[in-house]
């Protein structure tokens, strides 16, 4: 396993659409392991393959709910409600901004054995799924930010309208 370099906003690769994974290979397994290591090292709760320079539809998520999620070729198939709050991205370190997301999503994906499964998420997990799946489409959360980006850790609390 190895920590990979995280691409920073402004890097072209973050604007490109990712290709679906067709089969699991040793190389892709290594990529997934490296994505977890890179995400934990950066104290992130989600990472998408293009953030480490690979245009494949792979997402890793760990929102501290006791699970490590790997979503391959994910597709959001249901969503409900809304949540408004600060969101950040490992590709834009030190910043955060207010984004409204669904409060519930259901996603269909393949796991690391290429077996289909569905995952339902609420709150932070729903937010992380939406954020990471958007990366696979070449979209950054900054396109959705309401108001100004602020320094992470200095978010004015009164502006959070949950």
**What positions carry a catalytic annotation?**
132
Q: How far is the CB of 49 from Zn ion (least distance, A)?
A: 12
Query: Count of CB atoms within 10 A of residue 131's CB?
Result: 23
Q: How far is the CB of 146 from Zn ion (least distance, A)?
A: 17
Q: Is 135 annotated as a binding residue?
A: yes
Nearer to Zn ion, 44 or 73 (CB): 44
Q: How far is the CB of 113 from Zn ion (least distance, A)?
A: 26
Q: How many CA atoms lie within 13 A of 104 on its CB side?
A: 5
Name the token pair of 20.
């679906």
Pick the piece of the chain touching Zn ion (CB under 5 A) from 20-28, 31-39, 84-92, 104-112. 84-92
| 59 forms part of the interface with Zn ion (CB under 5 A) | no
Q: Is 130 annotated as a binding residue?
A: no
Q: How many residues bind Zn ion (CB under 5 A)?
A: 1
φ, ψ dihedrals at 159, nearest 5°:
-85, -5
Nearer to Zn ion, 3 or 24 (CB): 3
Unique residue bearing structure tokens 């502006």:
159
SS3 67: coil
Residues 6+ apart with CB under 8 A from 139: none
Nearest CA to 87 among 44, 38, 40, 42?
44
Q: Which one among 21, 89, 105, 107 touches Zn ion, defined by CB under 5 A?
A: 89
Q: How far is the CB of 131 from Zn ion (least distance, A)?
A: 5
User: How far apart are the C-alpha atoms of 131 and 138, rounded to whole Å?
Assistant: 11
Q: Is 131 annotated as a binding residue?
A: yes
Tell me which residues touch Zn ion (CB under 5 A): 89
Binding residues for Fe cation: 89, 131, 135
């Amino acid at each position: 396993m190895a920590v990979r370099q995280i691409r920073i906003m402004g890097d072209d690769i973050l604007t490109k659409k990712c290709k679906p994974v067709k089969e699991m290979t040793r190389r892709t397994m290594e990529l997934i392991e490296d994505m977890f290591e890179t995400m934990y090292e950066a104290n992130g709760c989600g990472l998408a393959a293009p953030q480490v320079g690979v245009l494949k539809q792979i997402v890793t998520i760990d929102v501290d709910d006791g699970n490590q999620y790997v979503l391959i070729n994910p597709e959001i198939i249901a969503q409900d409600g809304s949540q408004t709050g600060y969101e950040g991205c490992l590709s834009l370190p030190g910043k955060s901004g207010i984004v409204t997301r669904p409060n519930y999503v259901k996603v269909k994906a393949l796991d690391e054995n290429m077996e289909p499964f569905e995952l339902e998420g609420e709150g932070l997990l729903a937010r992380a799924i939406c954020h990471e799946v958007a990366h696979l489409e070449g979209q950054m959360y900054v396109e959705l930010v309401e108001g100004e980006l602020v320094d992470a850790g200095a978010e004015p609390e009164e502006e959070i309208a949950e």
